[in-house]
């Protein structure tokens, strides 16, 4: 399943991070749907019913737009079917934050939008999952490996996965490109979703909402949970999922496979409370000593990106003052691991613009 995510990039960074190629091979940077950039709030701890960024075809909003032209939109997590009769979405008596790929054509809430081509890609730094342990549940943060190209996809399939560092490989995903100025920062996780548009029976603003499609967990994640989001690995899979004109629904469903390509690390129980929204939610913890673990290849890549990026491009960070830092308890001022450093900067808060 998928019940919590983190998405900390600012709106302008999201545009660069999910650039794409259209059918003609031209690289494009999606624009935000009118007003939606203001509805999106970066967060280290997003939960269902919050507004999250998704990528989808512009044709859903403009019938004259090319079907392979993409746009960013802010949608509510938890699909509200177009046929829902109540005046308040909170009156729904069942959860739609996730939908199982096996049942997507059996349940009306998901079948109707799926057959209409209402497919989207949910964007996130990664998602959280909880592993049942003897004394409760241990949260983990799960995301794309942030390393330089390594073994081929076939080599990855044939190799033995490590528990917290699977074979390092970034396939030709959304963070890689050929042109100068391409996004070289955090590679966003791209999850397959289905969306719908609901209008209050009495009239009012339409509400766009989505569900994350889930599949059986990959081998390296099965010890944490038996389900995982359906991951779209690379630009071509993202393009095919969104291009409902070229790729019909039944063909698109073949993209929903369990992929053994993600990495993860344990995090603090702070993330258990949705009111906690700070970089500490993402910081790696050592389950044995409770000390920060050594940097991994992924975390080193993030630190490198932070140190080499232009400060002028990251003005959206809001720095914490020296006084605020020094007022924190000593145990909160220890040096951060690479992951926290990349997302937090130097004690920085979530980006907003």
H or E stretch at 52: strand 51-57
DSSP per-residue codes, 165-196:
S------S-TT--SSTT---S---EEEEEEEE
CA pair distance 7, 52, nearest whole angstrom: 8
CA pair distance 39, 52, nearest whole angstrom: 9
Give the single-character DSSP code of 172. Answer: S
CA pair distance 183, 12, nearest whole angstrom: 11
CA pair distance 221, 254, nearest whole angstrom: 21
Active site residue 7: no
- The Cα-based distances of 344 to 175, 303, 313, 350 in angstroms read 19, 10, 15, 7
Tell how strand 119-124 and strand 189-198 pair up: antiparallel
Six-digit token string for 145 = 């490996």
Six-digit token string for 135 = 């004394």
Active site residue 281: no
- Choose, from 2, 7, 70, 281, the residue flagged as catalytic: 2
- Choose, from 129, 235, 237, 281, the residue flagged as catalytic: 129
Which residues have C-beta within 8 Å of that of residue 101, sequence separation ≥ 6? 213, 214, 215, 230, 253, 256
Annotated catalytic residues are 2, 129
């Amino acid at each position: 399943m998928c019940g919590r995510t983190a998405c900390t990039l600012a709106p302008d960074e999201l545009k660069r991070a999910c650039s794409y190629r259209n059918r003609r091979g031209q690289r494009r940077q999606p624009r935000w749907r009118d007003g939606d950039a203001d509805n999106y709030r970066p967060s280290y701890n997003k939960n269902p019913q919050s507004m999250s960024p998704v990528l989808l075809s512009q044709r859903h909003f403009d019938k004259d737009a090319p079907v392979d032209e993409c746009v960013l939109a802010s949608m509510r997590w938890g699909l509200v079917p177009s046929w829902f009769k109540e005046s308040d979405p909170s009156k729904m008596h069942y959860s739609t934050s996730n939908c199982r790929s096996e049942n997507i054509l059996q349940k009306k809430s998901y079948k109707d939008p799926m057959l209409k081509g209402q497919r989207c890609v949910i964007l996130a730094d990664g998602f959280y999952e909880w592993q049942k342990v003897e004394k409760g549940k241990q949260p983990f943060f799960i995301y794309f490996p942030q390393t330089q190209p390594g073994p081929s996809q076939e080599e990855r399939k044939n190799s033995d996965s490590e528990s917290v560092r699977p074979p390092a490989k970034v396939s030709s995903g959304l963070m890689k490109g050929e042109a100068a100025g391409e996004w070289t920062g955090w590679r966003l996780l791209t999850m397959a979703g289905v969306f719908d548009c609901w209008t209050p029976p009495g009239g009012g603003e339409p509400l766009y909402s989505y569900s994350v499609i889930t599949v059986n967990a990959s081998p390296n994640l099965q010890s944490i949970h038996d389900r995982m989001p359906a991951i779209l690995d690379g630009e071509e899979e993202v393009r095919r999922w969104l291009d409902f004109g070229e790729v019909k629904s039944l063909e698109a469903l073949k993209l929903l496979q369990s992929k053994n390509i993600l990495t993860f690390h344990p995090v603090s129980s702070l993330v258990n409370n949705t009111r906690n929204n700070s970089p500490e939610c993402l910081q790696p913890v050592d389950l044995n000593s409770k000390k920060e673990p050594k940097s991994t290849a992924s975390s080193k890549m993030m630190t490198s990106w932070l140190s080499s990026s232009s400060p002028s491009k990251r003005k959206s960070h809001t720095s914490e003052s020296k006084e605020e830092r020094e007022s924190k308890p000593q145990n909160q001022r220890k040096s951060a691991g690479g992951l926290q450093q990349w997302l937090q900067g130097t004690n920085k808060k979530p980006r907003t613009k």
